[in-house]
A and B are shown apart, each in its own frame.
Chain A
């Protein structure tokens, strides 16, 4: 599953080309708002970060969480409340959302981490549904209405985020920060142990690793980064609603990650871009977007199980092996 990135890291030639490609991608992202609708781009960036955070858990630890909406949507509520009711500066409000998601991750992770496979998924789903119910009931979320009219405010009191470009570049910076944080975690000594646990958990235990703590650590990191995506989205779209905490959102992020390629660093970005772009372009037409996404999902599962990026990496790998 995770062959992609390790493979890149081991091949010096590919590594340079990865750096070049990365530089081109960043340049393209910097120029993008002059060619595309910035709100769409920001939406893609938020969901791409969300999918990357989710992928940290499933792709590198092998844990399928069906409750990541709680972190995404929960953080959105915290940020929206802090920015609107308490009048916090946007970055501080986002940080509060991240911290809130991390604490939620710690609690949910602590309860779920001892279970494996489908049981882990079910417990995360149940806990996130409990959280969604709480969000429906408590007054500060304003129930069905959600928190609306969240002010974007001034970044550090200086930059007016109501200017679309300023908002876009802040979103891009947060996305890049999150992406490189994940890259760093995956390619760190800690990430190495995560891989070992995913490969052979019993062996990791017999080497003296308290695997539950490593999994919980990864779970909290994934939750915090998912929260960062949700918080940013709350500032960008200026609202936080129940949609973001419901199980459909958890399902959507699984779909994005699966489509792009589980366990590849850029797969979730590709998957999220595809799903959000499709939703956006089909929103105006009569064609039911859910049907189309369902069809794409079925094709993906039947024909390219590694996801788009996973299949491409596998193809180039096989070709370079054949050539050698």
Chain B
């Protein structure tokens, strides 16, 4: 991927195996979010190929990729701030249930989605906040809501961009458990700075630095790699 001649990521060959939790880590500016944007087609690659479940998705549009079941979250929490928690999740449920284009019906028709929406909201422990607007939630709860909204699409693969960023200890534990639970029958690719979380959750780790892959493998293997240690020196390594 090049931005006006600046090569943001190059020669990144990343393969994520079905049913695993895969972490993408690396220092700031390594290109992690760019990789996410490329995979979900928010950016178009200059060269290269992206395949998902065997199909070439390199030329698809962002919305189409999402429809195939490859759904992302964002680094900056992506909720619909002035909609309630319930409405946030219902927006995601509307499209698969064919309730998104009906402009002649009352929005009361959406109550058909309430049951499923509440299940998802329950799963992230937000039931008592269902009628608050998303803007009124704490940061950690916004992230939880975002995950509930993403799960509403029942995606085969989730891309989570720093799901733990800015979270307190309790929230981290809760979201970790949630990710472990949802990963049972899905594939997860996550960017995460908290290496404890990565060590704890992820089956495989890819380290990215300056737009190139530095190391790839299990957390133990990667964390022993001298190049990785060097790239992280004085930055985020604990």
A and B interact: yes
Q: Nearest A residue to B66 by beta-carbon distance?
A: A208
Answer whether residue A116 sits at the interface, using C-beta atoms and an 8 A cutoff.
no
Inter-chain contacts of A140 with B (CB < 8 A): none
B72 part of interface (Cβ distance < 8 Å): yes
B59 smallest CB distance to A (angstroms): 16
The answer to whether B106 touches A187, judged by C-beta atoms less than 8 angstroms apart, is yes
| Chain B, interface SS category | loop
Tell me which residues across on chain A come within 8 A of B82, comparing CB atoms.
2-3, 6, 195, 199
Residues 165-208 of A at the B interface (beta carbon under 8 Å): 184-185, 187-193, 195-196, 199-200, 202-208
Please determine whether B74 and A207 come into contact, CB atoms closer than 8 angstroms.
no
Name the distance in Å between B101's Cβ and chain A's nearest Cβ. Answer: 6
Chain A interface SS verdict (over half) = helix
A192 touches B87 (CB 8 A): yes
Residues of chain B from 27 to 71 with CB closer than 8 A to chain A in the complex: 40, 42, 61-64, 66-67, 71
Whether the pair B62, A184 counts as a contact (CB closer than 8 A) is no
Q: B81 contacts which of A199, A206, A207 (Cβ < 8 Å)?
A: A199
Would B91 and A196 count as touching, CB distance under 8 A? yes
Closest to A190 in B: B103
Least Cβ distance of B146 to chain A in Å? Answer: 8
Q: How far is the CA of A205 from the CA of B63 in the complex (A)?
A: 5
A185 to B104: give the CA distance in the assembly, Å: 6
Report the separation of the CA atoms of residues A209 and B64 in the bound assembly, to the nearest whole angstrom. 8
Q: Out of B83, B100, B102, which one reaches A209, CB within 8 Å? A: B100
Query: What is the size category of the interface that chain A forms with chain B?
Result: 20 to 34
Of the candidates A6, A192, A209, A211, the one whose C-beta lies within 8 Å of that of B90 is: A192
Cα distance A209–B149 when bound, in Å?
14
Option from B42, B74, B110, B149 in Cβ contact (under 8 Å) with A189: B110
- Give the size range of B's interface with the partner: 35 or more
**A146, CB-defined interface residue at 8 Å:** no
Q: Whose C-beta in chain B lies nearest to the C-beta of A205?
A: B62
Known: A196-B83, A208-B153. Contact between A189 and B66, CB under 8 A? no
With A203-B74, A206-B62 as contacts: A190 and B101 at CB distance below 8 Å: yes
Choose among B40, B63, B64, B94 the residue that contacts A192 (Cβ–Cβ < 8 A): B94
Question: Apart from A206-B62, A206-B66, A210-B61, what 10 extra A-B contacts exist at CB < 8 Å?
Answer: A188-B103, A189-B94, A189-B110, A192-B107, A193-B101, A199-B82, A203-B79, A206-B74, A206-B78, A208-B64
**Which B residues form the contact surface with A (CB < 8 A)?**
40, 42, 61-64, 66-67, 71-74, 78-83, 87, 90-92, 94-95, 99-107, 109-110, 149, 153
**15 residue pairs A–B, Cβ–Cβ below 8 Å:** A184-B104, A185-B103, A189-B103, A190-B100, A190-B102, A192-B91, A193-B94, A199-B81, A199-B83, A200-B79, A205-B63, A205-B66, A206-B40, A208-B63, A210-B63
A residues lining the B interface (CB < 8 Å)? 2-3, 6, 184-185, 187-193, 195-196, 199-200, 202-211, 214, 217, 221
